């Protein structure tokens, strides 16, 4: 069975406007919402239903 690996990490992006660590995380999508969105997009591109893989715990 083929396996595909998607890197979900820090993008290769230079931040030119500095701020708090939280602001920097938000600028690169490194937040709970941003990470969830990347995972959902990956699963949709590969024909998987998000609900069948990720359960909302909160």
pLDDT for the residue numbered 11: 72
pLDDT for the residue numbered 33: 94
**Are residues 18 and 24 in contact, defined by beta-carbon separation less than 8 angstroms?**
yes
| Token digits of residue 5 | 């690996």
Per-residue confidence band for 56, with pLDDT thresholds at 50, 70 and 90: low
Which residues make Cβ contacts (< 8 Å) with residue 45, sequence separation at least 6? Answer: none
For residues 50 and 47, give the distance between their C-alpha atoms in angstroms, rounded to a whole number. 9
Tell me the per-residue pLDDT of 1-41, one tens digit each, with 9 for 90 and over.
777 777 766 677 777 878 998 998 898 888 999 989 888 88
């Amino acid at each position: 069975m083929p396996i595909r690996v998607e890197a979900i990490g820090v993008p290769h992006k230079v931040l030119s406007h500095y701020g708090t660590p939280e602001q920097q995380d938000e600028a690169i999508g490194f937040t709970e919402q941003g990470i969830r969105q990347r995972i959902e997009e990956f699963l949709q591109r590969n024909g998987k239903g998000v609900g069948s893989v990720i359960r909302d715990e909160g």
